[in-house]
Amino acid sequence: MDTPVIRASGLGKTYSHRGSEAHTALTDVSFELGAGRLLALLGHNGAGKSTLIKLVLGLIEPSQGEISVMGQNPVHSRGKRALPIGYLPENVSFYDNMTGFELLKYFAALKGIGAQSVKQLLEEFGLDYAMDRKVRTYSKGMRQRLGLAQATLAEPKVLLLDEPTVGLDPLASAFLYRKLNELKQAGCAVIVCTHELGLVEQELDKALILGKGRVLAKGDMSVLRQGCDLQLRVAFDDLPKRVAGDAFLSEFVREDALVMNFSRREQVLDYLIREKQICDLSVSLPSLSDIFHHHVSPLVHSATCSGGIEL
Ligand SMILES: Nc1ncnc2c1ncn2[C@@H]1O[C@H](COP(=O)(O)OP(=O)(O)OP(=O)(O)O)[C@@H](O)[C@H]1O
């Protein structure tokens, strides 16, 4: 198996400031992310997502455990021998009095990249028409495109995006994920931290769900679905009689559909297709949002009762 681009093992982070109580933001977080893969980093407000991103960037040091990015400790790799990591922060802010071109040229110069590549990048991100306009005149979507262009300047091998689609219209979000797919094809490992579950569900290879600083669930959609065994629905145009009257299927019949736990789906679908020759059906699998609620709601509920979670 290829060496993962990002590997975290038993990662923990406790913030301690003089004069105030120490606060543990992350406990025992382990995960791996390979080249060309997208990880959705999910969790309630205050779950520890930004802390994890800062650890990957090497902006803070872990209190426990280890993190490596391309085999190196990201804290030690800052400065001159910086790792090829691109980062789009939440609420990206720029020097508003610069034009789009000047701004990108400035960031490019910091990374030793010439102005010609900047022009190409502005074209690629659909901003060439506005490159001579001051950034303060840019819309939210234009700023986000500029932010993503900045993050991808040096052909990053790791890209970290914090809430990249907030405030974007559906076309702009689709553009963003198209670009991410191109970067993935080029071998970039991507982490998207987001609360927009419906959007990221279509794009992720894996998700990591954090709750109160701990990993509540991780894996691809199939692993996540198996892990919580939620119910799914099998719908028919018209519930056939041979389904409604069947002894085996009767326990699953709910009005005009069959409802079962995820772990029973193969058995039931196999039975429908092989024994009943019914293929005209549609299956609604548990969504990422269902899975997120399954894991996070009990935490939020128990904390609301005891008064202790940031929402
Ligand atoms: N520099 C800091 N000093 C002390 N505590 C901090 C610091 N940064 C974050 N925290 C705390 O650590 C916990 C995790 O914060 P973090 O910003 O990582 O959460 P998050 O999941 O990104 O939240 P959100 O979705 O609201 O952005 C929170 O309780 C937060 O108050």
Mutate to test the pocket of ligand 1, among 26, 49, 194 (most ligand atoms within 8 A of CB): 49
Is the alpha carbon torsion for 96, 97, 101, 106 positive or negative? negative
- Does residue 203 contact residue 178 with C-beta atoms inside 8 Å? no
Q: Average of pLDDT values for 224-230?
A: 92
* Res 306 pLDDT > 60: no
pLDDT tops 60 at residue 40: yes
Distance CA 74, CA 85 (A): 10
Q: Whole-angstrom Cα distance, residue 257 to residue 273? A: 15
pLDDT band at 311 (very low <50, low <70, confident <90, very high): very low
The closest of 64, 5, 32, 58 to 213, measured between CA atoms, is 64
ipTM over 0.90: yes
Average pLDDT of every residue of the chain: 89
Q: Give the mean pLDDT of 31-38.
A: 97
Q: Ligand 1 pocket, 51 CB below 6 A? A: yes
Q: What is the pTM of this model?
A: 0.89
Strand 158-162 relative to strand 189-193, pairing: parallel
If you measure from the C-alpha of residue 39 to the centroid of ligand 1, how many angstroms do you get, rounded to a whole number? 20
Ligand 1 binding pocket includes 91 (Cβ within 6 Å):
no
Instruction: State the Cα angle at 281 between 280 and 285, rounded to 5°.
Output: 155
Atom 11 of ligand 1: nearest residue by CA position = 25
Phi and psi, residue 2, nearest 5°: -65, 150
64 bridge partner residues: 12
Residue nearest to atom 18 of ligand 1 (CA): 48
Residue pair 37/7 in contact by the 8 Å Cβ criterion: no
Nearest CA to ligand 1 atom 12: 25
Confidence of residue 193 (pLDDT cuts 50, 70, 90): very high
Q: Is the pLDDT of residue 232 over 60?
A: yes
CA-nearest residue, atom 16 of ligand 1 = 48
- pLDDT 10s digits, 49-58: 999 999 999 9
Residue-level pLDDT at 77? 76
Q: For residue 157, give the DSSP letter.
A: S
DSSP per-residue codes, 68-81: EETTB-TTTT-GGG
To the nearest 10 degrees (0 to 180), the angle between helices 140-151 and 115-124 is 130
